[in-house]
Amino acid sequence: MDDYFNIRLADDDIRAISSIGLAHLGDAVYELLVRAYLCAHGRATGKGLHRAAVELVRAPSQAVRADRILPLLTEAELAVYKRGRNAHVNTIPHNASRTDYLKATALECLLGHLYLRGERERISQLFAVMMEEDEHAT
């Protein structure tokens, strides 16, 4: 496998990755989506871009977005989400509650899982719902 932009792993291979490993990848997927979203919506200016990105990737913001998509998740996606939410985390940032941080970890785990399955369209669908209220604010 040399094309990591279009990776597609077997379910057994994905299950072998820890929930923290999936969340690590999902964090990068979410960050890339947020940066692309901000650029596409005309917020691509230096410090403003960085501040907007930081605000959207903080655990409390991710927790809100996770709540938006929970009703839309399939049974299998919900299982992955719960796997991430139940991950053993060693430290929680001072700007997040434990609940928000675990929701953010769960969201990232789901995104990492979907990415490794090659489910770009599903990621896009969920991300669109995550960002709906922001769309109306711009």
Q: Catalytic residue numbers?
A: 27
Residue with tokens 């072998």: 16
List Cβ neighbours of 84 (8 Å cut-off, separation of 6 or more): 19, 22, 23, 26, 105, 106, 107, 108, 109, 110
| Residue 56 tokens, joined | 């959207």
Neighbouring CB atoms inside 10 A of 92's CB total 15
